[in-house]
Structure 1
C-alpha cells in the first residue's frame, strides 16, 4: 500500500494543486461540521458499499446529502447494496471507518472497487477530502480527483446521486 506519502508524491508528480488543513480527528459528518466551517469548498461523505454479487463500491457525495439508498443501485449500475465491513475496507483500501476518501484508491488494485463521484462534486472547483486519515483535509478540484483515480488505474463513474427529500 502506497499510503499518504505515495499520495503526496503523486500530487507533486501530476502537478495537482491542493490546500492542506490539519485538524482534530473527525469520525462522522456531524463531527466534521465545525472543522468544515473554516475550510472553503465542497465537503464530502463517503459510502463504502458491497452489492449482492459481492462487488465493492465507494460512493462520494456532498456531506449534506441524504442518499436514497433504495434508488442508489439503479443510479450507479449496481444491484442491491449494503454497507461494507470495516475489515474489507482495511484489506482493500488500507483505511479505517472515519478516514474514508476516494484518495484511498491509491491503495486499491484496479478493478477491485468501483468509485462513484457525485456529478456536482466532479465539476466543483474545490472538493475537500481526507488524505487517508481523519486528522487532515485536502482541498482540490473535482477534476483532479478524477485524474488521480485514472492515474491509479481506476475508471471512476460520475453520476447524479439520488437523494431523499428533506423532512
Structure 2
C-alpha cells in the first residue's frame, strides 16, 4: 500500500495544487464541524458500501447531505447497498473508519472498488478530504480528485447523489 507518502508524491508528480491543514482527530461529520469552519471549500462525507452482488463502493458526498440509500443504487448503477465492514475497508483501502476518503483508492487495486464523486463536488473548485488519516484535511479541486483516481487505474463515476 502506497499510503499518504505515495499520495503526496503523486500530487507533486502530477503538479496538483492543494492546501494542507493539520487538526485534531475527527471521526464523524458532527465532530468535524468546528474544524471545517476554519477551512474554506466544500466539506465531505464518505460512504463505504457493498452491494448485493458483492461489489464495493466508496461514495463521496457533501458533508451536509443526507443520502437516500434506497434511491442511491439506481443513481450509481448497482443493486441494493449496505454499509461495508471495517475489515473490508482495511483490506481494500488500508484505512480505518473515521479516515475514509476517496484518496484511499491509492491503496486499492484497480477494479476492487468503484469510487463515486457527487457531481457537485466533481465540479467544485475546492473539495476537502482526508489524506488517509483523520488528523488532516487536503483541499483540492474535484477535477484533481478524479485525475488522481484515474492515475491510480480507477474509473471513477460522477453522479447526482439522491438525498432525503
Q: Give the TM-score of the pair, scaled to structure 1.
A: 0.98
Matched residue of 2:144: which SS? helix
Structure 1 segment 16-35 matched on structure 2, within 5 A: 16-35=16-35
Q: Report the counterpart of residue 40 of structure 2 in structure 1.
A: 40
Q: Distance in 2 between matches of 1:123 and 1:26?
A: 26
Shift, 1:63, TM fit: 0.1
After superposition, residues 66-81 of structure 1 pair within 5 angstroms as 66-81=66-81
Deviation at 1:20, TM superposition (A): 0.1
5 Å-filtered alignment, 1:106-145, equals 106-145=106-145
CA RMSD, aligned part only? 0.2
Structure 2, unpaired ranges of 5+: none
Residue in structure 2 matched with residue 6 of structure 1 by the alignment: 6
| Aligned positions, number | 164
Distance 2:157 2:140 in 1: 18
Looking at structure 2, the residues matched to 114 and 127 of structure 1 have their Cα atoms a distance apart, in angstroms, of 19
Displacement, 1:134? 0.0
TM-score by length of 2: 1.00
- Residues 19-72 of structure 1, C-alpha deviations (whole Å, 9 max, x = no match): 000000000000000000000000000000000010000000000000000000
The structural deviation recorded for 1:92 is 0.2
> 1:87 is paired with a residue of what secondary structure?
helix
Counterpart residue number, 1:162: 162
Distance of 2:139 and 2:115 partners within structure 1: 19
Give the distance between the partners of 2:102 and 2:72, measured in 1 at CA: 18
Residue 114 of structure 1 and its aligned partner are, at CA, apart by 0.5
Q: Deviations over 1:86-117 (max 9, x none)?
A: 00000000000000000000000000000000
| Separation in 2, partners of 1:57, 1:130 | 17
